[in-house]
Every structure is written in structure tokens, then in C-alpha cells.
Structure 1
Amino acid sequence: MSKSDDQFKSVLADKKIPVLTLDNKWHQLFNQSAQPDKRIKRLEDKLNDLLKKQGKANTETKEIKKLKRKLMQEIMENAQDASSGNDIAAQKIMDENKRLLDDCNKKIRGYKDELLELPEKIDKVNRELMRVTLEICYDKMNANDREIEETANWITQIRVELKKKLIRKQEMEDENHQLYSYMHDIFGADVINIFDRRNKESGNKK
């Protein structure tokens, strides 16, 4: 990593970056590309996988907590019968509910750890996706700028050539008008009309 990259990372460290794959405008950046960039595709898939894990962990945690509340309610309801020692069925239910409750607590702790780690992982991949996105966009804009400059130079050159052609066109039209006027004055309208027809017929035969 270059010193310049380190400086940019330092500047952006406290900047909040939106999750790019959830932003429709980010997708619009690459809609015009016939061949998507492999780096973008790889990071996009990685980020989406992390977001799916986060979503699943949140959903599973809610469901497990709901089940945990139900188990605790059943344990409280069966506590008196189970504690008497006379109701074997109640004791079995109590033991099974406690086992399930322990499983719930283990799963909740596991998802809690995962949910603590995922935001940092998501942010890291998201920032890398941002870096690659900006790199590609600026490369494209720089390429466009070069082509814009080349096109502008071509237009300027064409304008100069066009101006020269227009001046030359006007000069030839003036010359033709002057020649025709002199011929008309020298030879007269009747003679010129005859040669006009002859010239026109000769031109049509070519």
C-alpha cells in the first residue's frame, strides 16, 4: 500500500460510508458497463454474504429469544409440580425445558459474538469496495476527459478548415459572378444564352 493510500485511509477513517450494495445509485454507476469489473463483483458478493449473515443472526436471535421466553414461562408453570417430586412427567418437562434453555443461551451468545464482529467486517469490505469503485470511476472520467480534449481539438481544427473552405467558396463564387458578368457585357445576352445551353448540355453528358 502506498503512502498516498495510507493518507486517504487516515482522512476517511472517521467518515461514515453507506453500505454500497444497498444503495441503488451505486448500482447505477455500473449499469452501463457491458463487462462488470471482477474486483467489484468479488467485493460485492463478499459484502452481500456478510450482510446476509448479519440479517440471519438478527432474525435467529429474535426467534431464539421468543422461544426462550416461552420455555421460561413453561418452567415457571411446572416448577411447583416438578419440585414436589411426585409428578414425574412434570419433572421430565422441566429437565427438557432447562436443556433447551441452555441451548438457547449458547446460541444467543454465539450470535451475539457474531453480531459484534460482523459490523467491523462489513465496514472493512465496504470501504475496500468504495476504494475500488472510486478508482474505476476516476479512471473512466480521466479517460473521458482525454477523449473530450481530443474531440475539442479536432472540432477546433475542423472549424479552422471549415472557415478556410467557406472563404475559398465565397472567393470562387465571386470570381464566377465576375467572369459571367464580363462575358455578358462583352458578348451580349444572345451569345451567352447559347453558350449557357451548350455548357449545361455538356455538363449533363459528363
Structure 2
Amino acid sequence: MARKMDKSIEIIEALQGKKIPILTLDDRWYQLIPEHEKTATIKQLETNLNNLLKQQGKMINDIKDMKKLKKKLMSEIVANMETDNSPAGRLKAKKLEKSHQFIEEINIKMQEADDTLLDMPYQIKKANEELMVESMKVCYTKLKHNQIEIEKADQWIRKTRETLKVRILEKQDKEIENSSLYSYMHDILGSAVLDILDDKE
């Protein structure tokens, strides 16, 4: 087990500095690892990576929405800046206070989302590398299996070639023998007798 872990670490280290595409967004990966060849580990890692990508996309959209809302609230603050002691003025003051509170909450949420979003590329990169390592293991196993099958096929082809050569020589010998027999019989018996013999067959 420790050796397997070492292999995974070696592969991840070898991948350092290489630009690896996000596997679940790359058609070539789906061709290399079709659905029926995915191990349980690969399926889990694929799900993890896709969830991280969805989470990142959702956070980006949430931040955009919060910025729009903040802009709207800022416009309301500007519109309600002038207040007095009248009922309408007090209502404006309350709206102003509420808008300030919302903006504070939005600022906190945006800061939290930004902090989380900052870490997302590293999480995605790590999940992608883990998926790449498992995918490479499956591909390498397939390569080894295919190599065994290629060698078997190569042996069969060589053996069949030898058999084919022998059979071709046997066929040629029989054809030469038939030609000689026919020629000899033709010379001795003549074509009329050979035609009678040919008709009987």
C-alpha cells in the first residue's frame, strides 16, 4: 500500500509545472476513460471535482448578485440622505439605517465569499490532480493489458504465417503434381479419354 501511495506522490510531483486541463471539462478524458471503465474511486473524484467547479461558479454568481444589490442599496442611500423630523423624514431615516445594515452584511458575506473563492483554484487543482493520477493508473493498466494482447496476437500471426507458408508450398506442390499427371495422361491417353474421365467426375 505504501508503494502505491509513493507512486501517486511521484506522479503528482511529475505533474508539477505541467498545464493539465480540467479533466471533467475535456472531451479527450471521456474518450480515454469511458463510463464503463470508471472505477468507484474515479467516479467519486469526478463528482468531487464537478462539485468544486459548481461551487466556484455559484460563488462567482453570488458575488455578482451581491455587488448588484449593494449598488442598488447605495442608490437608495443617496436618494434618502435628506431626512427631517417629519413622518416621511423618519421613514427615510429608517430606510437609510436598514440600507447601511444590509450593506454591512453584504460586505461581510462578499469578503467571506472572496476568501473562499481565493482558495478554490487550489482545491480544484488538487482534485484534478487526484483524478489525473487515478485515470493514469486505469490507462496504464489498460496499456499493460493491451500489450499482452498485442503479443498474443503477434505470436498467433507469426504461427499462422508459418502455417500459411507451408500450406502455400503444399498447394503449389499439388498443383505441379496435377499439372504433370494431367500432361502425362494427356500424352498417353489423348484428350478424348481425358474428356470421358473428366465427365465422370
TM-score class normalised by the smaller sequence:
0.7 to 0.9
Contact 2:12 2:133 survives alignment (8 Å):
no
What residue is the counterpart of 1:22 in the other structure?
25
TM-superposition CA deviations, 1:113-145 (whole Å, max 9, x none): 221222221111110111111221222222222
The one-letter amino acid of 2:166's match is K
Confirm whether residue 57 of structure 1 aligns to residue 59 of structure 2. Answer: yes
The structure-2 alpha-carbon separation of the partners of 1:184 and 1:101, relative to structure 1 and needing over 3 Å to count, comes to: same
What residue is the counterpart of 1:47 in the other structure?
49
Confirm whether residue 114 of structure 1 aligns to residue 94 of structure 2. Answer: no
- Counterparts of 1:196 and 1:18, CA distance in 2: 74
TM-fit CA distance, 1:170: 1.1
TM-superposition CA deviations, 1:157-195 (whole Å, max 9, x none): 111111101111111121222223333334444444444
**Structure 2: unaligned runs, 5 residues or longer:** none
Contact 1:85 1:91 survives alignment (8 Å):
no
CA RMSD of aligned residues (A): 2.1
TM-superposition CA deviations, 1:24-56 (whole Å, max 9, x none): 22223234x545432222211111111111111
Sequence identity of aligned pairs in percent? 39
What residue is the counterpart of 1:6 in the other structure?
9
Deviates more, 1:110-119 or 1:43-52: 110-119
Contact 1:183 1:192 survives alignment (8 Å):
yes
What residue is the counterpart of 1:89 in the other structure?
91
Alignment of 1:167-186 (within 5 A): 167-186=169-188
What residue is the counterpart of 1:104 in the other structure?
106
**Structure 1: unaligned runs, 5 residues or longer:** 201-206
- Structure with the larger RCO, 1 or 2 (CA within 8 Å, 6+ apart): 2
Count the aligned residue pairs: 196
Contact 1:50 1:118 survives alignment (8 Å):
yes
Match for residue 130 of structure 2 among 120, 128, 139: 128
> Could you state the TM-score of these two structures normalised by the residue count of structure 2?
0.85
- Counterparts of 1:136 and 1:152, CA distance in 2: 24
